[in-house]
Structure 1
């Protein structure tokens, strides 16, 4: 799994994938979906899919794949290398969503929360598999939000597929466990090799787990806050953990009448629009000599 493509643009979104095995183009297949890094305040979120022919489901069970959260980093790496070697019948694809993509999506004017972003990413990966020629019949998904609503949403989008959405699907279905391992390995590697675009000097990379309740993570956030520019793009600035530190320690910014609301003028402050309005005595002001010599006058009405 090479992350060079993502590292060249780690402020955006990036898709990585294996080759599609010929068997997956000719036989009915199952597909599993899971994510890694939904909760941390640091680093990307990664969505992963794995797919294989229905006839090979038993092979995944014999590999003893499991929910990536129950495995050590070394075990995940070993299992990923094994999964990646099964090129004759197993394929995978990943969508890496940078912290910047996550935060700007969540803070746009039209409400777009993390659940909606997750659903759309999963849908895009299923569509990618179909567009790549994978003969999908069964899809298993670890739920985000209410399982019944999510399953109905996916069935409406893909009526030809048999879709199962369940909590803890990564521990129930080996194909989801495989997707979980792929996603977690990709996120771990992305976090470890993160290339900071900002000049942070000798930044300390000991930021703990990246989860908001980790004392090491909180300490790293407090230490690496720029009082004017905030955080590097490694941080999900939409998370309340980061926002709380910014509010308490960064230079305060006052947005005067950012919506052009005239009500503020009634409280003794001027509306921003008032700075662009013509003053009453503007007509008495003598024009510059350049205009007087050429007998040029200001046109009020066109």
Structure 2
């Protein structure tokens, strides 16, 4: 999990796996659980995780004390993650940390490129199953905490993986221990990512809260950190109504126009001397803002 603590370029997604080669998982039928952490917050990544082990070891992991990460304290989550991770000779996990920049870009893209949060979640789960299969794990059963109607989600996954028994359920993180383990892995990774966040804007913020819109500390962070023109640091999901409403009410209104009547270029335009490109100010480069030719 050290990669989460050193997630330097958190504008892009991060994937990490357990390090050991669980040979028993390559030889015996295995169960795989999938869950996420950080779906609702306005700050930070959404982390999707898997946890898997041989069906023959289900009793062993069932007695470990695994549970839905939301009902556990941070200390208990860390303890259970370390306990589960010590068993990585006979089990494993894989995480996809979806950055807030990716979430914002996906949800605010043009119609033909836009992805809803549900689509991002479904695609992450599909990717995690494929990654585990490519690793050589003999997955025969998959349990997933639902996103949207469970019946439709289950049918979607079952059509993609017809050889695997798929179960999509509400409250799967409390019903199935493999989903509980995935929930704990994902939550621990998200918490660590926020604590060691790489502030690409050059300013470090000590207190940002839980990231949930109702958290008073998070609300204060959003108000204090927001530039009146360029908005929030990249830890913020610009696509959340919480962020949109704050920008609309308290900051400079920016109207983007589409240049649809540009003059057509002729042959003589090829001989026009190009102007030198102005040097970009550090304020813009630190925030990954660059001049564009067209919108």
Question: Secondary structure at the residue paired with 1:51?
Answer: strand
Match in the other structure for 2:186? 183
1:43 partner SS = coil
Q: 1:277 to 1:16 in 2, by over 3 A?
A: closer
Alignment of 1:252-291 (within 5 A): 252-256=253-257, 258=258, 260=260, 273=261, 276=263
Partners of 2:144 and 2:4 in 1: how far apart? 28
- Is the deviation greater in 229-238 or in 247-256? 247-256
**CA RMSD across the alignment:** 1.6
- Structure 1: state its 5+ residue gaps: 261-272, 279-302
2:153 is aligned with 1:150 = yes
Between 75-84 and 18-27, the greater mean CA deviation after superposition: 18-27
Return the offset for 1:204. 3.7
Distance change in 2, residues 1:199/1:144 (3 Å): same
The runs of at least 4 aligned residues of structure 1 exceeding 2 Å deviation read: 3-6, 275-278
The residue that corresponds to 2:52 in the other structure is: 51
Match runs of 1:285-300 below 5 Å: none
- Larger radius of gyration, structure 1 or 2? 1
Match of 1:123 among 126, 136, 139: 126
Q: Separation in 2 of the partners of 1:133 and 1:207?
A: 40
The alignment partner of 2:191 has SS state of helix
Alignment correspondent of 2:231? 230
Shift of 1:212: 0.9
Residue 9 of structure 1 corresponds to which residue in structure 2? 9
Paired residue total? 262
CA distance in 1, matches of 2:32, 2:23: 15
* Offset of residue 6 of structure 1: 5.9
- Verify: 1:34 aligned to 2:38, yes or no: no
- d(CA) in 2 for partners of 1:17, 1:60: 19
State the TM-score, normalized to the length of structure 2: 0.85
Q: For the Cα contact (< 8 Å) 2:33–2:52, is it kept in 1?
A: yes
Change (3 A) 1:204 1:9: closer
Deviations 1:111-151 (A, max 9, x none): 31000000000000000000110001000000000000000
Distance 1:35 1:220 in 2: 24
Write the deviation string for residues 155-200 of structure 1: whole angstroms up to 9, x where unpaired: 0000000000000000000010000000000000000110100022
Q: Indicate conservation of the 8 Å contact 1:20/1:132, yes or no.
A: no
TM-score scaled by length of structure 1: 0.84
Residue-by-residue CA offset, 1:58-90 (whole Å, 9 max, x unaligned): 111100100000000000000000000002211
1:243 match = 244
Given that 1:6 and 1:13 are in contact with CA atoms closer than 8 Å, whether structure 2 keeps it comes out as no
Shift in Å, 1:255: 2.5
